[in-house]
Amino acid sequence: MFGQRFQAMSAGPHHPFNDAVSFVMLCEDQAELDRYWHALLRDGGQEQACGWLTDRFGVRWQILPRAFEEMMRDKDPARVQRVFAALLQMVKIDIATLEAAYNA
């Protein structure tokens, strides 16, 4: 899946997916983020806040720009707070908005 190898087994309807398992997809740019976002929502996925979504199988994903991790590790707490506040306003992540908050 997306160039990565995952292994899972079907436990049938008695053990559906839940929030105990989720995947984080780190993307290099907005085009890649948008591509994965739309692919995972296709055929019945549901958007969630802060870059989270649930795909058509009930698997939870957070689709983030790789730069987000770097921003959140910044030594300036004001920068980190601005980025996090911007993230809380989003459903699908907009990298330019995060960068603007980071550089404000």
Structure tokens at 79: 């920068």
pTM for the structure as a whole: 0.83
Nearest-5° Cα angle at 85, 78 to 73? 50
Q: How confident is the model at residue 21 (pLDDT cuts 50, 70, 90)?
A: confident
CA distance 22 to 95: 22
List, for residues 78-96, the tens digit of each pLDDT value: 999 999 999 999 999 999 9
Q: How many helices (DSSP H) and strands (DSSP E) are in the chain?
A: 4, 4
Judged against a pLDDT cut of 70, whether residue 1 lies above it is answered with: no
If DSSP codes are grouped into helix, strand and coil, which group holds residue 75? coil
List, for residues 53-73, the tens digit of each pLDDT value: 999 988 999 999 999 999 999
Which residues, in sequence order, are CB contacts of 2 under 8 Å at separation 6+? 25, 36
Q: Which domains does the chain have, with CATH numbers?
A: 22-103 (3.10.180.10)
Which residues, in sequence order, are CB contacts of 13 under 8 Å at separation 6+? none
